[in-house]
């Protein structure tokens, strides 16, 4: 009922910036908490950041705090992830997800996008 489509991934040099977008269809976007996760080859899916429903309070994993910024535009049914000071270890497939709360575990989110590849090079 809530398809999510990520965009904005690509190749970027270490130290650079990239902004990801996740667009949701339907008119109930504002009632969902939204999260960003990433998965690198051979690793578990990792929590990055989340924003709460309605008011849009934000939360971050320690690994990205101060570098990444999550935001949401309820009028556009879109959540964003601004990534700055990118490192080689940020290379991963990035996924957005919708759920009932800003949890840190992937299996608590109900809806997922297909992911967008972010590759950081030097």
Q: Which residues pair with 92 in a beta bridge?
A: 118
Q: Is the dihedral of CA 111, 5, 105, 81 positive or negative?
A: negative
Indicate if the pLDDT at residue 56 is higher than 90: no
Indicate whether 55 pLDDT > 90: no
* Mean pLDDT, rounded, of the chain: 95
pLDDT in tens, 85-106: 999 999 999 999 999 999 999 9
Which tens digit of pLDDT belongs to each residue from 24-54?
987 689 999 999 999 999 999 999 999 999 8
Q: Which residue bears the tokens 């051979």?
A: 42
């Amino acid at each position: 009922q809530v398809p999510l489509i990520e965009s904005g991934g690509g190749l970027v040099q270490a130290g650079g910036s990239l902004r990801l977008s996740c667009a949701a269809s339907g008119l109930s976007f504002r009632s969902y908490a939204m999260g960003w996760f990433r998965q690198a080859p051979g690793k578990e899916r990792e929590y990055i950041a989340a924003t709460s429903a309605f008011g849009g309070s934000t939360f971050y994993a320690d690994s990205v705090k101060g570098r990444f910024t999550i935001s949401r535009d309820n009028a556009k049914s879109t959540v964003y992830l601004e990534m700055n000071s990118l490192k080689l270890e940020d290379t991963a497939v990035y996924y957005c997800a919708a759920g009932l709360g800003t949890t840190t575990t992937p299996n608590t989110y109900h809806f997922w996008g297909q992911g967008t590849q972010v590759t950081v090079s030097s």
